Amino acid sequence: MSSTAASAPAHSDQHYLAMDLLRFTTAGSVDDGKSTLIGRLLYDSKAIFEDQLEAIERATEQRGEENLNLALLTDGLRAEREQGITIDVAYRYFATPRRKFIVADTPGHIQYTRNMVTGASTANLAIVLVDARKGVIEQTCRHSFIASLLRIPHLIVAVNKMDLVDWSEARFNEIVAQFSQFASRLEIPDIKFIPLSALHGDNVVDKSTKTPWYQGGALLYTLETTYIGSDHNHIDARFPVQTVIRPNSDAHHDFRGFAGRVAGGVFKPGDEVLVLPSERTTRIKSLHGPEGELREAFSPMSIVMTLADEIDISRGDMIAKANNPPHAGRELDAMLCWFSEKKLQPGGKYLLRHTTRELRCVLKEVRYKVNINTLHKVEGDTEVGMNDIARVHLRAAAPLLCDTYQRNRATGSFILVDEFTNATVAAGMIQPPSG
């Protein structure tokens, strides 16, 4: 812990701005109440427009339902999807005085595993819904495994429909024990359990009087107070160059800066840095953000960096600290989630997009598939189709400047693209070499 603390950025205004936004994803089986829960969060945090509210009130009345049907807020998108309009992931934005939120609402069915991977890939936190009557089921395990695979550091198990089990503390504890036993095989450092009723709003935005035995906070309070400052890697300095800035104006005649998003570590003016793949060393001259010059830059800030020496740098290059460079190699082991209806071709050639770089690669071998319901390895089955997750070995046309996904989600992830159709066929997470 000490090295992380020592390398963490100072609590500047930008640091608090970076922490002010929480991205979370929701997952659950059909009828677990996911749409109602998102609707309740939006409704009770006053994030619904008046015309939206009126439309929901009218639709609820027409259906002859007693309670305001908040599920209709997100079901509008689902209706569009059913009409053939492709909405892979629906993003919702809302805010409270404490924090801004982006919620990725993804379908829960097994055939939509790829959608959940897409929605969860940038999330700080995942909410997995469990029906209090049914308890932990296969889909609960699958959604939690995907959250673990994607290294989402925070997980909330929302035990919904507690009103239908008479707010039973014994039933809640049973589900906590059931899930905890399964979760011991996952790599999620922070798991919280909340008993709630999305339909009636108990423990969603406000603490419920019906759960005097529950000592934790309501869901919204938990979302507002989850500390995400240490989620980013502040140790390994990584800056993939996105573009070169040359204004060629009278005011900035000689300005030459490198724009991109910091993918890890902390950069300060005067730091010695290593430019890859050329392996030239230099020092940082200045750092610039939207508001002007910066004293430091860290993930996930977007900045422009200038260097003390004239070095030939272009998009796809990476700037790192000289004493801590990323791994550079052509051979890669990775976990893949396959997105395409066209099956994976062993020996197939694909475009690999990693940070700001694009290069060709060959998919050399499928090592094994993963049964995402049991977490068991499926050896010998190398046929990988849509929504399958598999361990593979790739060979890139040139050395890739990367870290393992476990160490850095930004520099440890990539996508594969079909050269001929330009379709994204897979999302990949770089793993330590096996054996």
> What is the predicted pLDDT for the residue at 266?
95
Reported confidence tier of residue 114, pLDDT bands at 50, 70, 90: low
CATH number for position 242: 2.40.30.10
Lowest mean pLDDT of 16-30, 144-158, 181-195, 414-428, name the range: 16-30
pTM of the model: 0.79
Cα 199 to Cα 245: distance, rounded to the nearest angstrom:
52
Residues 45 and 137 in one domain: yes
> What is the predicted pLDDT for the residue at 75?
54
Lowest mean pLDDT of 259-268, 367-376, 386-395, name the range: 367-376
Model confidence at 285: pLDDT above 80: yes
Of 408, 400, 357, nearest to 234 (Cα)?
A: 408
Residues spanned by the domain of 382: 327-431
Tell me the range of 108-122, 139-153, 157-171 where mean pLDDT is highest: 157-171
Q: DSSP code of 234? A: -
CATH number for position 204: 3.40.50.300
Q: Where is the domain boundary, 261, 287, 321?
A: 321
Residues 149 and 284 in one domain: no
Residues 190 and 301 in one domain: no
Of 247, 241, 168, 161, nearest to 197 (Cα)?
A: 161
Model confidence at 57: pLDDT above 80: no
In the block, residue with structure tokens 């899930």: 179
Residues 256 and 364 in one domain: no
Model confidence at 188: pLDDT above 80: yes
Residue 68 lies in a domain: yes
- What contacts 108, CB < 8 A, 6 or more positions away? 27, 28, 29, 30, 32, 34, 116, 139, 143
Residue 178 lies in a domain: yes
Residue 232 lies in a domain: no
Model confidence at 30: pLDDT above 80: no
Residues 339 and 271 in one domain: no
Model confidence at 251: pLDDT above 90: no
pLDDT mean over 35-48: 75
Residue 132 lies in a domain: yes
| Cα 33–Cα 108–Cα 387 angle in degrees, nearest 5 | 175
Residues 393 and 251 in one domain: no
| Cβ-based burial of 107 (10 A; exposed 0-12, middle 13-18, buried ≥19) | buried
pLDDT mean over 173-189: 92
Residues 49 and 180 in one domain: yes
Q: Where is the domain boundary, 156, 191, 225?
A: 225
Give tens-digit pLDDT for 301-355: 999 999 999 999 999 999 999 899 999 999 999 999 888 889 998 899 999 999 9
Residue 400 lies in a domain: yes
Give tens-digit pLDDT for 223-237: 999 988 778 888 999
Lowest mean pLDDT of 66-70, 140-144, 375-379, name the range: 66-70
Residue 316 lies in a domain: yes
Q: Residues 130, 159: contact at Cβ < 8 Å?
A: yes
Residues 19 and 159 in one domain: yes
Of 33, 60, 30, nearest to 200 (Cα)?
A: 33
Give tens-digit pLDDT for 196-205: 998 888 999 8
Residue 250 lies in a domain: yes
Number of domains in the chain: 3
Residues 305 and 332 in one domain: no
Residues 156 and 92 in one domain: yes
Model confidence at 38: pLDDT above 90: no
> What is the predicted pLDDT for the residue at 202?
93
Residue 230 lies in a domain: no
Residues 195 and 281 in one domain: no
Residues 119 and 150 in one domain: yes
Model confidence at 16: pLDDT above 60: no
**Partners of 274 in the β-ladder:** 281, 320
Structure tokens at 403: 């870290």
Q: Where is the domain boundary, 300, 321, 342?
A: 321
Cα 282 to Cα 91: distance, rounded to the nearest angstrom:
41
